[in-house]
Amino acid sequence: MWRVNTLGFAILGLLARRPLSGYRVAQLMREPIGFFWNAGHAQIHGTLRKLVEAGWAEYRTEPGPGPHDKKLYSATAAGRAALAEWAASPLPTPQPHDELLLRVYNGWLADPAAMREMLTAELERREASLAHYLTVRAEFEADGTPEDPTTQRFVDYATVLNGIGSERYVLDWLRWLIGTLRD
């Protein structure tokens, strides 16, 4: 039987919250989840099939638009239990892939003006991202700061706070770096 991979748990985490079509999973994989995980629809459909084979998800069919039926997936009790155990199990050592740092590491060879341009574009992208996180945080706090770590609302809030911290430190670092590239 298939050894469920991290993407499997990412998808199961969405199905554990509410039943979804593969198409909706792909959307959520862009918008709230996209800040820490992502996958395209081709990969998602295959993984959903494997989750069903593993007995961790099930679906009911509805007549959908287009040539294929719509499938509404949800997590089974076994799937939820496996997800709950996985969430708190020891983390594997991370294998980072940060292209920005790789660019900077090789930046001593590059034209400083071109480097400054690339970094400024990245700065602007991340300023927009921070602004978005701050809006979301404000919406959370307007309804009362979440406090119970066993609620969906709390964990959503926690990931947003992480996003804010993450963008803030990179922005500081980028501003310092761009400053060293002044002529």
Partner DNA sequence: AGATCCATGTAAACCGTTACATGATTAT
Partner DNA sequence: ATAATCATGTAACGGTTTACATGGATCT
What residues line the site for DNA (CB under 7 A)?
3, 5-7, 21-24, 26-27, 38-43, 45-46, 48-49, 64-71, 95, 97
Between residue 92 and residue 111, which ones bind a copy of itself under the rule CB under 8 A? Answer: 92-111
Between residue 40 and residue 69, which ones bind a copy of itself under the rule CB under 8 A? Answer: none
165 binds, among a copy of itself, DNA, none (CB under 5 to 8 A by kind): a copy of itself
156 binds, among DNA, a copy of itself, none (CB under 5 to 8 A by kind): a copy of itself
Residues 6+ apart with CB under 8 A from 5: 47
Q: How far is the CB of 3 from DNA (least distance, A)?
A: 6
Give whichever of 67 and 88 is closer to a copy of itself, judged by the CB atom: 88
Q: How far is the CB of 176 from DNA (least distance, A)?
A: 29
Q: Please work out the total of residues on this chain that contact a copy of itself, with binding judged by CB under 8 A.
A: 72
Q: What is the DSSP string of the chain?
A: -----HHHHHHHHHHTTS-B-HHHHHHHHHTTGGGT----HHHHHHHHHHHHHTTSEEEEEE--SSSS-EEEEEE-HHHHHHHHHHHHSPPPPP----HHHHHHHTGGGS-HHHHHHHHHHHHHHHHHHHHHHHHHHHHHHHT-----TTSHHHHHHHHHHHHHHHHHHHHHHHHHHHHHT--
Give whichever of 54 and 115 is closer to DNA, judged by the CB atom: 54
Give whichever of 70 and 154 is closer to a copy of itself, judged by the CB atom: 154
Q: Does 180 bind a copy of itself (CB under 8 A)?
A: yes
Q: Does 31 bind a copy of itself (CB under 8 A)?
A: no
